[in-house]
Amino acid sequence: MTPFGRVISVRGSQARVGLLAGGQMQLSEMRATVGRFVSIRCANSVIVAMITEVSCENLPASDEYMATASVDLLGEILGGDRPKFQRGVTHYPTIGDSTDLITNQELRTVYAPSGSDQINVGTLQQDRSVIAYVDVEEMLSKHFAVLGSTGVGKSTGVSLLLNEILKSRPNLRIFLLDVHNEYGRCFGERAQVLNPRNLKLPFWLFNFEEIVDVLFGGRPGVPEELDILAEVIPMAKGIYTQYQNSDRVGLGLKRIDPKQVGYTVDTPVPYRLVDLISLIDERMGKLENRSSRIIYHKLISRIDAVRNDPRYAFMFDNANVGGDTMAEVISHLFRLPANGKPMTIMQLAGFPAEVVDSVVSVLCRMAFDFGLWSDGVSPMLFVCEEAHRYASADRNIGFGPTRKAVSRIAKEGRKYGVYLGLITQRPAELDATIISQCNTLFTMRLANDRDQALLRSAVSDAAANLLSFVPSLGTREVLAFGEGVALPTRLRFKEVPPHQLPRGEATIATVPSVTAGHDMHFVSAVLERWRGATSHRDSPSGDANFNAPPPARTMAPAEAPMLQPSLGLDPDRFSLLKKPLR
C-alpha cells in the first residue's frame, strides 16, 4: 500500500514530510490537517509526531508530492510483543522513511493507562473512541494549572478534575478557594463549605503583616503605629501565656520584660485585644507630649473600629474562648481527621474586600507550615481560583505576603506534601515564576495575545506549536501539556453530571416570566439580608456548622480568672486629648 508521505528533512525535534500525491489523501476522514498525529516508520521504532503546518508552497520540482507538512517529534513506540510508548526520541528518522496517519491501535498504545493511578478526564479530539487519561501522581506532585477565558467551561473542568481526583485519592485532603461561591454544591457530602457565617479564624493566627493589613484596611501602615504594635504584640502574648500557666487564682498583672517573653510578633500563640490596648494605653499615659499621644490614640481607635465591625466577627468573636484553639482551627479547616469530608470549600465572596487578601495569606501560610512541620505525612491539594488576584505579576498590585505564601507552596510545597492547583483566566497577569512551577497545564480557549505569549514561555514541551490552536478551541476543549499526560494532547472534557456543575449562589435569568414574583416583599427580604451582613448579631448564624471543641476545652481554666471578658478601660483615659490643641 502506498504510504501517506515520506520524510524529506529532519531538524532537531522537527521534521518535514512530503505528502504523496497518490497516497491516502482521497479519503475524507484521513485528511492531513494541523493537529493530527502521524507515525513515522523507522528501523527500530515508530515515531509519533504531530502535524503543526501544511503547505503546498515551495514544493520539490517533481510531481511526486502534493503538499508538505511540518511535524513535531513527540515520542516513540518501541516494538516487541507488548508495544510501549515513551516520550522523547532516541532514534531519529532518516530521509525517505515512510509516514502514515496514526492508527487507532497506536493511539491506544500511546494513551494506555500506565498504572492504577490514572483518571479519565475525556476523549481525544482526533479520535473520540480513545480515552484521555491523566496521571494523578504526576499532576499533583508537580502542581497543575487550568487556564481559560470566561465561558469556555473552565469551572466545569475544575469540578470534573477534582471529583475524579477524589475518586482516585479518597484520602487526599483538598482545600479550594472559591472566589465566586460557585462550587458549593459540586462535591456533595464530601465537602465542607466555609463562609464568613461559620468560619472561625482567630485574629491571633494572623502574622504581623497580615494583622496590619486588616487593621489598616489594605492600606500601608503608619510607621509610628507599626513600631508600637511590633513592641506590644509579643508582650500581650506573654501576658496571656502567663495567665494560662499560672497556678494561683487572682494573680495580678506582672511586669514583663519584652526581651524575656520568648515570642515574636509572628509566633502563632493567643493574645487578647484588651491586653494589647492596655499596653498601648499604658505607654500613652507615660507620654507628656500631646502630639505623640495622638499616635497611640489613633492606633487604639483603629483596633476598636475593626474589632467592633460585624463583618470581622469570624476573626474577633469569641477568639479567646477555649484558650489556645489552634489545633481545633487547623483540624476544622484542613479536615484532620476528614470524617468523610476530605474537602474544604472556602467561599470568599462574603468577606470584606479589605480582608480577603489577608485571609488567603493566612490559609496558604498555615497549609504550607503544617505540611512543613508534619514532614508531609498528610498530603493536601491547595486549589486557588482566580489565582492572578493573589499572585499578580505586577509587584505593586495585591498583598505581598499572599503572593509570598502562594509562591512558597509552588516552589517548595511538593517536598512537604502540599500541592498546588491554579485556576486563572488571565495567565499573563499571574506571576511567571509561580506558573512555571506548574508542570501540567490544561489550557482552554484564550484570545489575549499576552496570555498566549506567556504560555509559550511556560511550555517547554516539543509541541509548544500546539499553542497556535488556543484561540480556536471550542467549549470544553483543552490542550493538555506536561507531566500528567502521555503527550501534549488536544482533548475534550467529558460531560459532568448536572449535580456537579458549578453555579453561583444566585442564578441570573433573563426570562420575563421569572420576574413576575419579584414584588416589594422580595426586595425587602433582600435588603434585610444585605443589612444583616454589616450589622451586629447576637450570635453568628453559622455556629451550628462549626465543629466546636468539647465543652471541657471551650472554657477558660479555673486558675485563669483574668481571661473572662474585660469590663474595658477607664472611659476618661483620653480626657487629655479632648483638650483643644494650640
How much is the pLDDT for 578? 41
For residues 203 and 505, the model is more confident at 203
- Reported pTM: 0.80
3-class SS shares of the chain: helix, strand, coil, % to 5: 40, 20, 45
Per-residue pLDDT at 580 exceeds 60: no
Per-residue pLDDT at 561 exceeds 80: no
> Per-residue confidence at 106, pLDDT binned at 50, 70, 90?
confident
> Per-residue confidence at 247, pLDDT binned at 50, 70, 90?
very low
Per-residue pLDDT tens digits for 381-390: 999 998 888 8
For the chain, give every residue range classified as CATH 3.40.50.300: 119-197+324-505
Cα–Cα–Cα angle for 116, 122, 128, rounded to 5 degrees? 115
- Mean pLDDT lowest for which of 41-45, 199-203, 271-275? 41-45
How much is the pLDDT for 61? 66
How much is the pLDDT for 291? 72
- Mean pLDDT lowest for which of 279-283, 446-450, 466-470? 466-470
267, 237 contact by CB (below 8 A): yes
The per-residue pLDDT of the chain, averaged, comes to: 80
Q: What is the 3-state secondary structure (H, E, C) of 334-377?
A: CCCCCCCCCEEEEECCCCCHHHHHHHHHHHHHHHHHHHHHCCCC
- Closest by CA to 294, choosing from 216, 225, 232, is 225
> Alpha-carbon distance 265 to 162, whole Å?
37
Spatial neighbors of 399 by CB under 8 A, at least 6 apart, are 213, 218, 357, 358, 361, 390
CATH hierarchy code of domain 119-197+324-505: 3.40.50.300
How much is the pLDDT for 368? 93
Per-residue pLDDT at 270 exceeds 80: yes
